[in-house]
Amino acid sequence: MKKLLKSKRQGSAIPLAIVVVLILLAMGTGLLSMGLNSRIFSTRTTSDITARCAADTGLTMALYQMNQKLAVKPWSSGSLPTAKETSLLHCDATYSYDVTGDLNKGFIMAAVGRADNAERAVYATIGLKGLFEHAILTKGSLVLKSGTTIDGYNSADPLDTEFKVNIGTQSTADSMVVLNSGVDVKGDVLVGLGGDPSTVIKDLGATTGDQLGGTENDPLPTITPPATLLATGLDLTAKSATITITPADSGQYGNISLSASKDAGILEIDGGDVVLYITGDIDLGNACEIIVRDNSSLTIYIDGDIVTGNGSSIGTENPTKDAMTLQLYGTGGVGQNLDIKAKNEWTGVIYAPNAHIDLYANGDVYGAIVADSFEFKNGGNYYYDEALRTVSMEDEGVSFVVERWYEGSPTFSTKDIITTPIKVK
């Protein structure tokens, strides 16, 4: 009897051991399968991410090539950028890109990235951006006196009453924007990327739209005088006299020096569009003027400083609302100073990202300003010209920027993509 019981106990252990082995085998197989699937998923995810990075690189390269092409004047619509199966550095991925479209329909950049068996496609519409997207933009301080009103208008469309008027600084330091009491900004006030508006903006009783931190860097391109301007080797000098400059006199000069004894020294711009490159300074004595006559315009590139005496003026004969009638580009290094005065209303644009600018006008101001630092001396009304946002291929400092971006296969024509909300597949 004892032998029989012992035999039964020994026989029942074998099936139990087999069950345990099978359970362990199943668990091991499951774990191996899970690990394998995780490895496959990880590999696919890595390939997808790499392919996407490659596609984004292709889009970036396409934008770079478009801006390189834009830098060559005049613009040529032929041979838009394209590349096939270009290797992405430090990995096995490749990217391809093409740019299609034209000036009338707009441009679309398409890029495809490939890594192992993964493939990702991205697309973007691009448009032109000029130098004057803001009413006032500084790299450092911006000071508005009490009673200043910042508003907008559109010189190209007098019926337009919807204005997007922004002022701001790229700085994130404390009290870089000083808004004195009674300042009224009919738009937003922006500060530098990552900045805290409550500390960057010193609000002493102003009325504004939103006060916002920047969401992206806004690069300020370097402007160089046109190489086609011939060096005259001369200064433009007038003492108690008037000298006239016409388009035929456009060129490179040393200094502009206007002084007065009995009468004021005057430099008048007449007969059309005049372009001057001043390698030295502009010095206007008391009551002296640079004046742009009707149906003419003046563009000045200046390496030095602008100094203006009491009652002096740089402006237009009959104030026009077209801000491009007078264009000043500071081409000097850090520390440039531009002191601008006007005897009446002032209309124009100033782009001098390395300069401190003081502006005083005996009337309203129309246009836009980009500076290292800026102070609006007189207070009163300052109007931003929204027509400045409409630019052409030939404008100074213009560049292509991404307007809309999406991923997946395009389902629209170029025109539809520009005008229709993007549907991402």
- Are the C-beta atoms of 208 and 188 separated by less than 8 Å? yes
pLDDT band at 255 (very low <50, low <70, confident <90, very high): very high
Cα 283 to Cα 239: distance, rounded to the nearest angstrom: 12
More confident residue, 227 or 302: 302
Cα 155 to Cα 158: distance, rounded to the nearest angstrom: 6
The token pair that represents 164 in the structure block:
């997007």
Share of the chain above pLDDT 90, in %: 61
The number of angstroms, rounded, from the C-alpha of 243 to the middle of its chain's C-alpha atoms is: 38
Which of 83-92, 140-149, 298-307, 408-417 comes out lowest in average pLDDT? Answer: 408-417
Q: What is the largest CA-CA distance in the chain?
A: 144
pLDDT band at 285 (very low <50, low <70, confident <90, very high): very high
Beta-bridge partners for 119: 114
Which of 26-35, 350-359, 372-381 comes out lowest in average pLDDT? Answer: 26-35
What lies within 8 Å, CB to CB, of 262 at 6+ separation is 240
pLDDT band at 40 (very low <50, low <70, confident <90, very high): low
Residue 132 has what pLDDT? 95
Judged against a pLDDT cut of 90, whether residue 293 lies above it is answered with: yes
Residue 10 has what pLDDT? 53
Instruction: Give residue-wise pLDDT tens across range 258-269.
Output: 999 889 999 999
More confident residue, 252 or 89: 252
For all residues of the chain together, what is the average pLDDT?
87
Residue bearing tokens 């931190």: 213
Judged against a pLDDT cut of 90, whether residue 331 lies above it is answered with: yes
Judged against a pLDDT cut of 60, whether residue 9 lies above it is answered with: no
- Looking at residue 411, its amino acid is T
Judged against a pLDDT cut of 50, whether residue 178 lies above it is answered with: yes
Vertex 422 angle, CA 424 and 415, to 5°: 130
The token pair that represents 346 in the structure block:
């002032």
- Domains of the chain: which residue ranges? 49-130+400-419, 136-389
Share of the chain above pLDDT 70, in %: 90
3-state secondary structure of 75: coil
Residue 214 has what pLDDT? 80
pLDDT band at 420 (very low <50, low <70, confident <90, very high): very low
Cα 255 to Cα 193: distance, rounded to the nearest angstrom: 38
Residue 43 has what pLDDT? 62
Neighbours of 337 (CB within 10 A): 18
